């Protein structure tokens, strides 16, 4: 839908700034736009706000020194993102803790900061830490967010606590919030300026005028099979937690002429498929502590399984330094001889002592259509429906559909690796190793699971969306997961830092624009 500057366009309502998507990035953008004296409309297409943000660990990357943070970001992005954009994020990371303290005053919340280096031994790693919300007075998480399930029981979920603080701040300001209101198309005038957008609401479509700008903070495309098919080699890839990230912002930005970046890269782990075919989310494995290559492990946590392909052969380090980010990558191999993905699905294989070491997985979602009572009993019941049990490796091989000799060789080789304490083939950290030798034995299919994507519209230091010639598309901004900076390796908590830094940057810049007439 295009409206020329000479058109007499009929607007249902008008605001200075319209923010699309109510997760961390959208919430921050709305707060800052209101602080700057703008009238703000904040929309969310789902029935409940929070996006995938509310399912997160709630640990936002902060930095002590911007120059050191930039060094690290430059390494982890491997040339995929311009230096000035990374420097802007690095500077913003040094402001995160103070910003948390400002927001926390509204809720009486307690802010926590702890030092935590980057995921890899790159220059600047030691400058980083995590900011989070440790507690919120008079906050009943289960009552406030009954539709949310995180890695941990909701009362311990720092991601939900952080969102509660953001919600309190939005509610305190003059921000109009519409739920079940999805952006459909940007409205662009003859000069190429974004002057408004069409929003689908329960009462029908509405054309909303945005006098200063539109900020797209509506997430990525992890719930869009169409965009996955065009940008990723591997398939299928399961969705981790949120059905609302369907690439709406990407399509709208492209329609306005946006260039895209980082579309191949996603935050991905191998994990389980739910036994209920109607359940839309994959089940990520137990969150084990990250570790840094070349440094002694900070723990001796055991990983109770190995991963094998559909022939029964091991092919990866099951416990890479940042498992939640990169452990799905080895699964993307396509075999042109068999015209198949021999590693999708793969299998985890473990024995009886290993089976009872940890809960294998837990559901994560922001979705009122599902519920899960988080308890040891409920997790075991779910896992019993996922795993296949056998009294011998021969029986397990038969149930997996692999050759007995191949699986036995794989397990024997793994047990020998455990004996010597060194994995020459794939580099599994020795403290995590557990032998597979005590029946009964178990297996379960595992698949690539996408927690969130990094791709989307290119933006500059002001979060302005850029066209194919690196020119800003007037009055259009992107923040958060939508077009994130991470085009190679992720920095844990980095997307959440982008939500905050990108959200406040976009809003403050848009607020300086002269309203169009």
CA angle 36, 42, 44 (to 5 degrees): 155
Report, in angstroms and rounded to the nearest whole number, the Rg of the chain calculated over CA atoms: 24
Full DSSP string of 180-195: S-EEEEEEE-TTS-EE
* Measured distance CA(81)–CA(74) in Å, rounded: 8
pLDDT at 149: 83
Q: Are 298 and 291 in contact (CB under 8 A)?
A: yes
In which element (H, E) is residue 144 found?
Answer: helix 141-144
Residues 6+ apart with CB under 8 A from 509: 462, 463, 464, 477
pLDDT score for 5: 40
Q: What confidence score (pLDDT) does residue 374 get?
A: 63
Task: Evaluate whether 254 touches 468 at the Cβ level (below 8 Å).
Answer: no
Quick one: pLDDT at residue 381? 83
Please list the residues that pair with 16 across neighbouring strands.
none
> Rounded to an integer, what distance in angstroms lies between the CA atom of residue 278 and that of residue 243?
13
Provide the pairing of β-strand 365-366 with 346-351.
unpaired
The span from the first CA to the last CA of the chain, in angstroms, equals 19
Closest by CA to 501, choosing from 24, 4, 8, is 24
Confidence at residue 150, expressed as pLDDT on a 0 to 100 scale: 78
How high is the pLDDT of residue 7?
A: 55
Those residues of the chain that have pLDDT short of 50 are 1-6
Asked if residues 447 and 345 have their Cβ atoms less than 8 Å apart, the reply is yes
Helix or strand (DSSP H, E) at 128: strand 128-135
pLDDT recorded at residue 514 = 98
Res 2: pLDDT: 46
Identify whether the C-beta of residue 256 lies closer than 8 Å to the C-beta of residue 476.
Answer: yes
Q: Which residues contact 386 (CB under 8 A, 6 or more apart)?
A: 272, 273, 274, 275, 283, 360, 361, 444
The residues with which 61 forms a beta bridge, in sequence order, are 130
Fill in the DSSP letter of residue 385: H
In the chain, where the domains are located: 13-265+454-511, 268-287+300-367+374-450
pLDDT of residue 9: 82
Q: In the 8-state DSSP scheme, what is residue 243?
A: T
Q: Which CATH architecture has domain 13-265+454-511?
A: 3-Layer(bba) Sandwich (3.50)
Q: What is the pLDDT of residue 8?
A: 63
Rounded to the nearest 10 degrees, how much is the dihedral formed by the CA atoms of 497, 503, 508, 512? Answer: 140
On whether the CB atoms of residues 156 and 12 are closer than 8 A, the answer is no
Give CA separation, 25 vs 141, 219, 475, in Å.
21, 9, 17
**Three-state SS letters, 320-351:** CCCHHHHCCHHHHCCECCCCECCCCCEEEEEE
Please enumerate in sequence order all residues whose Cβ is within 8 A of that of 375, keeping only pairs 6 or more positions apart, or say none: none
Question: Given 3.20.130.10, 3.90.700.10, 3.30.565.10, 3.20.20.140, which CATH number is that of 268-287+300-367+374-450?
Answer: 3.90.700.10
Element (H, E) at 306: strand 306-308
CB 111, CB 59: distance < 8 Å:
no
Phi-psi region of 408 (alpha: psi -120 to 50; beta: other; left: phi over 0): alpha
């Amino acid at each position: 839908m295009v409206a020329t500057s000479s058109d007499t366009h009929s607007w249902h309502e008008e605001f200075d700034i319209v923010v699309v998507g109510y997760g961390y990035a959208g919430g921050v953008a709305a707060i800052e736009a209101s602080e700057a004296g703008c009238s703000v409309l904040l929309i969310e297409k789902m029935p409940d706000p929070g996006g995938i943000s509310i399912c997160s660990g709630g640990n936002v990357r902060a930095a002590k020194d911007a120059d050191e943070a930039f060094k690290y970001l430059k390494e982890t992005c491997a040339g995929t993102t311009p230096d000035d954009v990374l420097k802007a994020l690095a500077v913003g990371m040094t402001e995160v803790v103070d910003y948390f303290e400002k927001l926390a005053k509204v809720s009486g919340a307690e802010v926590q900061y702890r030092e935590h280096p980057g995921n890899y031994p790159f220059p600047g790693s030691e400058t980083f830490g995590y900011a989070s919300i440790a507690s919120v007075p008079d906050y009943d998480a289960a009552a406030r967010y009954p539709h949310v399930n995180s890695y941990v029981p909701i009362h311990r979920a720092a991601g939900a606590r952080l969102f509660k603080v953001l919600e309190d701040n939005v509610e305190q300001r003059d921000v109009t919030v519409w739920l079940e209101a999805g952006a459909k198309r940007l409205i662009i005038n003859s000069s190429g300026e974004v002057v408004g957008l069409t929003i689908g609401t329960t009462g029908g479509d509405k054309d909303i005028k945005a006098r200063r700008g539109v900020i797209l903070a509506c997430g990525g495309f992890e719930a869009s099979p169409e965009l996955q098919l065009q940008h990723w080699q591997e398939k299928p890839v399961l969705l981790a937690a949120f059905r609302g990230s369907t690439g709406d912002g990407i399509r709208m930005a492209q329609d306005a002429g946006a260039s895209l970046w980082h579309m191949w890269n996603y935050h991905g782990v191998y994990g389980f498929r739910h036994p209920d075919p109607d359940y839309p989310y994959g089940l990520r494995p137990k969150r084990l502590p990250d570790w840094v290559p070349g440094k002694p492990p900070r723990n001796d946590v055991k990983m109770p399984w190995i991963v094998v392909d559909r022939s029964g052969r091991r092919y990866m380090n099951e416990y890479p330094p940042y498992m939640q980010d990169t452990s799905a990558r080895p699964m993307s191999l396509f075999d042109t001889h068999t015209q198949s993905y021999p590693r999708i699905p793969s299998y985890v294989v473990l024995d009886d002592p290993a089976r009872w070491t940890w809960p294998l997985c837990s559901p994560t979602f922001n979705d009122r259509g599902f519920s899960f009572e988080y308890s040891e009993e409920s997790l075991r019941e779910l896992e019993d429906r996922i795993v296949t049990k056998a009294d011998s490796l021969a029986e397990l091989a038969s149930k997996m559909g692999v050759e007995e000799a191949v699986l036995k060789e794989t397990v024997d080789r793994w047990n020998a690796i455990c004996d010597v304490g060194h994995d020459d083939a794939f580099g599994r950290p020795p403290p995590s190793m557990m032998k597979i030798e005590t029946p009964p034995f178990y297996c379960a299919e595992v698949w690539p699971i996408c927690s969130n994507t990094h791709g989307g519209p290119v933006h500059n230091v002001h979060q302005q969306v850029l066209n194919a010639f690196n020119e800003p598309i007037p009055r259009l901004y992107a923040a958060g997961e939508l077009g994130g900076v991470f085009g190679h390796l992720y920095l844990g908590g980095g997307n959440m830092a982008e939500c905050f830094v990108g959200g406040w940057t976009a809003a403050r810049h848009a607020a300086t624009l002269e309203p169009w007439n």
